[in-house]
Structure 1
Amino acid sequence: MSASIDFSHSEQHFCAQNMIKCHLSRLMGERKLRIADVARLTGLHRNTITLLYEETAVRVDLDAIEKLCDLFQCEVGELFERVPSGN
């Protein structure tokens, strides 16, 4: 059983005031990696990587986060950032 983080809660107040930013595209760009490269190196599905890359993911498995952090030798806070929205 794999654990996941769900960003799609229906708590409109929370979602309206905060946003989770994913820095995967920056990390990939710095290393000149393509989505196919990250998929091959991590074993993650291309769709998972694409959703994170385009910042359209609403849920991320903890296993995926761990694999990405291992690949990029980073902490979770370097991959994801909680950013207050501009009210």
Structure 2
Amino acid sequence: KRRRPENREEQDYKPQKRSGGYALLLTFYREATKPNYRGFMTKAELQRKAQPLCRNSFTHFKASYRYNAWSAISALIQKDLVIKIGFPA
């Protein structure tokens, strides 16, 4: 694990425009501001609504790359920007 210099301040997470993280955060924000928002979204509906905001696919991998846009969800969870609840069958 890399060590960070002690004088370096913690930087805010700012995903690049039209990236997976950007599309996911913007989709969560838009849905959360709707009066009929349930307080959660399924993976399928999140991917469907976020896809138009992202330049990469949420469901298909590029042949030469092992990540897709959905991979950004891990960073959002790690940075406590998204809460993952449940593992439906």
TM-score band, normalised by the shorter chain? under 0.3
Q: TM-score, normalised on structure 2?
A: 0.23
Superposition TM-score, scaled by structure 1 size: 0.23
Higher relative contact order (CA 8 A, sep 6+): 1
| Greater Rg over alpha carbons, structure | 2
Which of the two has greater helix per residue?
1
Structure ranking higher in strand proportion: 1
